[in-house]
Amino acid sequence: MPKYPLMIKTWPLILIIWVLDTIMTFLQIHMQEVTLYNNLILTATNGASAAFCACILSLVLLPYFIRRQQILLFALAAVSFCLVVSALVVYFSLPVICSSLGEVIARPQICSFQSMMPGHFISVLMCCGTVCGIRFYQEYARTYVDKEQLRTAHLEAELTLLRHQVNPHFVFNMMNSIHVLIEKDARQASEMVLEFSDMLRYQLYDCSKPFIPLQQEIIYLQNYVNVENKRRGNELQVDCKWDVHTPHCLISPLILTPFVENAFKHVSCFNDKPNYIRMDLYQEADSLFFVIENSREEEPPLPGDTVSTQKGIGLVNVQKRLALIYPEKHFLKIHETAGQYTVFLEVKINAAQNN
């Protein structure tokens, strides 16, 4: 919405344009050497009719036709209305007009309805056209703002829903991990429950914000990796690199987590060869890069580098969140081969909060 008060309210615009039109009319009549008294009468007559038409058209007819998306019909109605008002004003004020002009013109007989009507009609139409043009811009701006507010509310509601979908997905995975570890080592399972409670606290409180410091997200990921390492023991090799030089920059919470969850969920379980997960999070200027690889069971390679449609809800949700929060400000590539799954993500970490 325009920030200037005169572009928000209509009546100041009508007043300003009416004053300017009245001044111009007064000066034009004054140049014809009409007496001041008659000049004021003629100016007031023209100005009153212009102001009346501008108010009716801009405040009543224009909003009515805009709501019905009938702008062409409004234009026809506006011209007709100005024509009728001008005709009535000229007809009833003709004696005063002719009496005033008779003092300065050589041929008073040219003072007739046919000769006076066009000039008055054009003057009223120009005044009304200016006011209605600005009024149309106001209505368009108001409609645009309403649509943007509705769109923003819709996106916020969708993001909230997506976050709520991520949390149960994470909880189910971790509870299953704790269940498995209880049978192996009760003490480590107890420690995992405490770490898990800290992670839930992060999700419940910190993740309610639209953006958080990147360092908080990294700590959360590190805790997640530690919990998974305790559950899996020596059967999985996990290598992590965290190279971020501005840890206080902002990022959308849980935007990286689904990729880590997906790696641990689908990593291979070989007995005769290494099972690995490699994570590399690094920063260059205002871009954040996240590369994660995990070994996978031998399967026929998928055609091309497209993402399989049979993926979990976490990965699908993070793709939607990236599209909503970082539109045209991120690049995601997922590459699958027979023995490895690779995710490459680039995000402009300052793009979303600066928009």
Residue type, 18: W
Given this model, what pLDDT does residue 68 score? 82
Q: What is the pLDDT of residue 107?
A: 45
pLDDT score, position 158 = 62
The answer to whether 210 and 162 are in contact (CB under 8 A) is: no
pLDDT tens digits along 201-223: 877 777 777 888 999 899 889 88
pLDDT of 54 higher than 60: yes
* Beta carbons within 8 Å of 68's beta carbon, 6+ residues apart: none
Report the percentage of the chain scoring pLDDT > 70: 73
**What sign for the dihedral angle of Cα 84, 89, 95, 97?**
negative
Say which amino acid occupies 210.
P
As a whole number, mean pLDDT of residues 310-338 equals: 81
Residues 265-274: what's their mean pLDDT? Answer: 87
Per-residue confidence band for 35, with pLDDT thresholds at 50, 70 and 90: low
Give the sign of the dihedral formed by CA 47, CA 49, CA 50, CA 54: positive
Most confident by average pLDDT, 14-23, 180-189, 263-272: 263-272
Q: For position 293, what pLDDT does the model report?
A: 95
The predicted model gives 252-256 an average pLDDT of 86
3-class SS string, 212-273: EEHHHHHHHHHHHHHHHHHHHHHHCEEEEEEECCCCCCEECCCCCHHHHHHHHHHCCCCCCC
What are the tokens at 69?
């998306």
81 and 53 in contact (C-beta within 8 Å)? yes
Measured between alpha carbons, how far apart are the two ends of the chain, in Å?
16
- Provide the mean pLDDT of the chain: 76
Q: Which domains does the chain have, with CATH numbers?
A: 5-148 (no CATH), 185-354 (3.30.565.10)
Mean pLDDT for 232-260 is 87
Q: What local confidence, expressed as pLDDT, does residue 305 receive?
A: 44
Q: Which of 99-103, 105-109, 191-195, 260-264 has the highest mean pLDDT?
A: 260-264
Average pLDDT over residues 192-205: 80
